[in-house]
Amino acid sequence: MYPDRVVSGMRPTGALHLGHYHGALKNWIRVQAEHPCLFFVADWHALTTHYDDPGIVERSTWDMVVDWLAAGIDPSQATIFIQSKVPEHAELHLLLSMATPLGWLERVPSYKDQIDNLAHKDLATYGFLGYPLLQAADVLIYRASMVPVGEDQLPHVEMMREVARRFNHIYGKEKGFEEKAIAAVKKLGSKRAKLYLELRTAYHQEGEVDALEQARAMLDDAGSLSNIDRERLFGYLEGSRRIILAEPQALLTQSSRLPGLDGRKMSKSYGNAIALREERDSVVKKIRTMPTDPARVRRTDPGDPKRCPVWQLHEVYSDGATRDWVVKGCTSAGIGCIECKQPVIDGVLAEQEPMHERAQPYLDDPTLVRAIVADGCDKARRLAQETMRDVREAMGLAYT
Ligand code: TRP
Ligand code: SF4
């Protein structure tokens, strides 16, 4: 119903590492070529956990945008902006909070997990409880159709859908809706109108989901409709309400979880990460000194790649022939660990080289980054304002 649009955000809580690249950014780069995308720095979300250390949020915000550009996010394709520069997100968050049951927030699995994980911090705050609702506002305000996220975020996307549904249910009521919807059906032209009503009946009476999809696709193509009539017809398909906020879908990152230098998930807090734009020498040193199969004490001891974190990196960075060479050489003690690590070092450096190159102009002239973000904030804000007009009107806040 609403335009094809992809929205995703990342929290600026430190420099990005290669785990972010493999886990999320590669996915963003792929979708930016296929759909209109909005990517934003979720600085308010960062403050929900870093409220006592805002300096890191401010510093990381700009570095993160440079990391995105370095990784290949293309500002001529995607809109890049900062959450707090589009204050409409906060307004929608507030308005959504009116009708969001506390239980929905308390039930989100990450809520209790994070409170336990970050036990050294007091997260029994109002802001932290509202985290997933703010995230819902981030996406619903653009009426996004898709949200590229990792698996851990699926409950958040599910909650966004519930919030949108509830909003439409409560505020999509309209006096004389039925009559207005029928008038809009007529505007489809007789052939389409007939098909629309048939599909609607098939869905209502037989529960045919295909019919619903087909009718939606038809409405998408019906160029002559005004937005409000289109909303009504979407709502009328399903029941008797306007659809003011669209339900987004998760676009799951094909999980390529990059292991860190110790074999656990790469994470800054584990101290096992390689930064996205880490200095060459430091990359070489980190990989040379990373642990290997603990059973391989001497060069003459055979090893087992399955017990070695270096092997996990070969699985990401090396081709089949190299991997065969590793397995043979390791299990027969035919190669040494330093030798074994070289293709991984080469692979990581080759991946990072174009990133350093792309970052350089932005490091030389930071005003370029400021300009990209300023432009993105303007674009995002215009879109957010459109939705907020409808939201305020639906909630009786238009005061005209
Ligand atoms: N919660 C997300 C994360 O931790 C970040 C985020 C904030 C986000 N707002 C969003 C992701 C909106 C997608 C859409 O990764
Ligand atoms: Fe690990 Fe390679 Fe050493 Fe085997 S040879 S233990 S796979 S680093």
pLDDT (0 to 100) of residue 255: 61
Phi, psi of 4 (to 5 degrees): -60, 120
For residue 200, is pLDDT > 70?
Answer: yes
- Top pLDDT among 220 and 36 is at 36
Tokens of residue 392, six digits: 């305020």
pLDDT (0 to 100) of residue 253: 74
Residue 14 C-alpha from the chain's centroid: 17
Q: Is residue 246 part of a domain?
A: no
Whether residue 144 sits in one domain with residue 46: yes
For residue 314, give the ligand nearest its CA.
2
Tokens of residue 270, six digits: 């584990």
Whether 154 contacts 250, CB under 8 Å = yes
Å from CA of 150 to ligand 2 middle:
30
Q: What is the mean pLDDT of the chain?
A: 94
Q: Is residue 121 part of a domain?
A: yes
Q: Is residue 372 part of a domain?
A: yes
Whether residue 184 sits in one domain with residue 145: no
Which range has highest mean pLDDT (19-28, 216-225, 233-242, 375-384)? 375-384
Q: Is residue 57 part of a domain?
A: yes
For residue 282, is pLDDT > 80?
Answer: yes
Phi, psi of 42 (to 5 degrees): -85, 70
Per residue in 151-178, pLDDT (tens digit) is: 889 999 999 999 999 999 999 988 888 9
In ligand 2, which atom is closest to the CA atom of 311? 7
Kindly state if the Cβ of 314 falls inside 6 Å of ligand 2: no
Percent share of the chain, pLDDT over 90: 83
CATH number, residue 120: 3.40.50.620
Whether residue 221 sits in one domain with residue 124: no
Whether residue 333 sits in one domain with residue 210: no
In ligand 1, which atom is closest to the CA atom of 10? 5
Report how many domains make up the chain. 3
Whether residue 71 sits in one domain with residue 191: no
Q: Is residue 250 part of a domain?
A: no
pTM above 0.95, yes or no: no
For residue 338, give the ligand nearest its CA.
2
Per residue in 43-101, pLDDT (tens digit) is: 999 999 999 999 999 999 999 999 999 999 999 999 999 999 999 999 999 999 999 99
Q: Is residue 310 part of a domain?
A: yes
Kindly state if the Cβ of 275 falls inside 6 Å of ligand 2: no
For residue 224, is pLDDT > 90?
Answer: no
pLDDT (0 to 100) of residue 226: 86
Q: What gap in Å lies between CA 231 and CA 279, rounded to an integer? A: 52
The neighbour count for residue 400, using CB atoms within 10 Å, is: 3
Whether residue 30 sits in one domain with residue 102: yes
For residue 325, give the ligand nearest its CA.
2
Q: What gap in Å lies between CA 110 and CA 264, rounded to an integer? A: 20
Which domain, by its residues, includes 300?
Answer: 277-363
Whether residue 373 sits in one domain with residue 312: no
In three-state form (DSSP H/G/I as H, E/B as E, the rest C), the secondary structure along 70-122 is HHCCCCCCEEEEEHHHCCHHHHHHHHHHCCCCHHHHHHCHHHHHHHHHCCCCC
Kindly state the DSSP code that residue 143 receives in the 8-state scheme. Answer: T
Q: Residue 339 corresponds to which amino acid?
A: E
Biggest CA–CA distance in the chain, Å, is 84
For residue 1, is pLDDT > 70?
Answer: no
Best of 27, 43, 45 for a ligand 1 pocket test (most atoms within 8 Å of beta carbon) = 45
Q: Is residue 206 part of a domain?
A: yes
Q: At CA 43, angle to CA 41 and CA 45, rounded to 5?
A: 110
Kindly state if the Cβ of 258 falls inside 6 Å of ligand 2: no
